[in-house]
Homo-oligomer: A and B are copies of this chain.
Amino acid sequence: MNGMPGIKESTRERVQELARELGYTPSRFARGLVQGSRTSVGLAIPDLTNPYFPAFASSVVELATQRGWHIVVDDYGHGGRTGLDAVDHLAPQVDAVIGYLGGYAEQAQAVMGRRPLIVLDETPGGAAGSINFDYAEAAKLAVDHLWNTNRRNIAYLDACSSSLIGSGQVPTGPSKFGAPEVVAQVPSTEAEAGPCTVRGRAVTGRLYGTGAPWALVTAAETAEAARAAAAALLRERPETDGILVFNDLMAAGVLKAVHEAGLRVPEDCAVIGMDGIPLGEFLTPELSTLALDLREVGRAAVELLEGLLAGAVAPGSDAARLTLVHQLILRESA
């Protein structure tokens, strides 16, 4: 008996005392069954080890907690699991899911049934809600900045892990995870082994627009892989004077590679990352980046979910498709 009025004080204490001795804990299921659930939300994340995701998660958890929601996380980055596995795991336990799924929006929404699913950085339409980023605009900002500071041999380092691939297609080009290589050296419209991410398509599209030569390299989504890829790039194409990188974590690796190649950043070669995670400010030189306000991304997701849950916004409607824009933050590296 917890806080019910009209109970003798002595009885209450006697009962509570006994309960404590017996180690009694009310079943959350029976309680939830009868009281109507606290809402609990699944958060599917590809890799907590990339600082981008905890930064995002932190914001989501904060906002969710304010609303009295519970957040159940699943980091599906281990053991070959996919975003769909994560949703499968979360589904029986939650009322909604927010996640970077890496391409399973439709199937994931199917396992969630009527419960809202919000996917980030993925083609909209499959899920009840989606949050996307305007990569065309981002690519414009970054490529134009490099161009305007007289970079004429720009390279783009793309990620090629499965987690963030927009189309779900892994190109069958010469680039492998272990052996990074320059996969395209153009101008050309569609290299057969083209970019594998939506970011990649936006950036290479813009690069193509410059008319100057440019390169595309891919690597797995880690700093180490990026470092190796950048080293290879610099060896094969020493004239490279600007590198745009898939994300800030990989950019950290690139910074190291450029330094190791004996080049100065940004004088000899500029580097621009993407994400805007705090890590960038600690690097030497400090990383210029296409920054997202991670707290805003979290807020967008939580507020969209709130709308969906309340019925204020219709699943799949235009109001459920948000697009956020990057901001070019110029620090030292470009």
A284 to chain B: closest residue by CB: B284
Taking the complex as formed, is A221 at the interface, i.e. its CB lies under 8 A from any CB of chain B?
no
A49 lies within 8 A of B93 (CB): no
Q: How far apart sit A223 and B66, CA to CA, in the bound complex (Å)?
A: 26
Taking the complex as formed, is A205 at the interface, i.e. its CB lies under 8 A from any CB of chain B?
no
Taking the complex as formed, is A8 at the interface, i.e. its CB lies under 8 A from any CB of chain B?
no
Taking the complex as formed, is A210 at the interface, i.e. its CB lies under 8 A from any CB of chain B?
no
A61 lies within 8 A of B75 (CB): yes
A286 to chain B: closest residue by CB: B256
- Out of B48, B89, B90, name the residue touching A58 (CB < 8 Å): B48
Which chain B positions have C-beta within 8 A of A77? Answer: 58
B72 lies within 8 A of A113 (CB): no
Q: How far apart sit A47 and B61, CA to CA, in the bound complex (Å)?
A: 11
A33 lies within 8 A of B40 (CB): no
Q: How far apart sit A65 and B80, CA to CA, in the bound complex (Å)?
A: 13
- Out of B78, B93, B114, name the residue touching A40 (CB < 8 Å): B93
Taking the complex as formed, is A30 at the interface, i.e. its CB lies under 8 A from any CB of chain B?
yes
User: Contact mask A265-280 → B, CB, 8 Å, 1/0?
Assistant: 0000000000000110
A280 to chain B: closest residue by CB: B282
Known: A54-B54, A65-B74. A29 touches B33 (CB 8 A): yes
Which chain B positions have C-beta within 8 A of A24? Answer: 113-114
Chain B's nearest CB lies how many Å from the CB of A283?
6
Taking the complex as formed, is A14 at the interface, i.e. its CB lies under 8 A from any CB of chain B?
no
B93 lies within 8 A of A38 (CB): yes
Q: How far apart sit A74 and B60, CA to CA, in the bound complex (Å)?
A: 10
Taking the complex as formed, is A149 at the interface, i.e. its CB lies under 8 A from any CB of chain B?
no
Taking the complex as formed, is A32 at the interface, i.e. its CB lies under 8 A from any CB of chain B?
yes
B252 lies within 8 A of A282 (CB): yes
Q: How far apart sit A150 and B162, CA to CA, in the bound complex (Å)?
A: 50
Give the residues from 242 to 292 in chain A that come closer than 8 angstroms, CB to CB, to chain B: 252, 255-256, 259, 278-279, 281-284
Taking the complex as formed, is A299 at the interface, i.e. its CB lies under 8 A from any CB of chain B?
no
Which chain B positions have C-beta within 8 A of A6? Answer: none
B58 lies within 8 A of A25 (CB): no
A43 to chain B: closest residue by CB: B73
User: Contact mask A20-49 → B, CB, 8 Å, 1/0?
Assistant: 100111111111110001101000000111
Q: How far apart sit A115 and B24, CA to CA, in the bound complex (Å)?
A: 9
A114 lies within 8 A of B25 (CB): yes
User: Contact mask A55-68 → B, CB, 8 Å, 1/0?
Assistant: 10110011001100
Listed A/B pairs (24) with beta-carbon separation below 8 Å: A23-B113, A23-B114, A29-B30, A29-B32, A30-B33, A31-B92, A33-B33, A40-B93, A47-B58, A48-B57, A51-B51, A53-B54, A54-B54, A61-B73, A65-B81, A65-B89, A70-B89, A70-B90, A71-B73, A72-B72, A223-B281, A279-B279, A282-B282, A282-B283
Task: List the 8 closest pairs (A to B, CB-CB), nearest first.
Answer: A23-B114, A284-B284, A54-B54, A29-B32, A48-B58, A29-B33, A252-B282, A62-B78
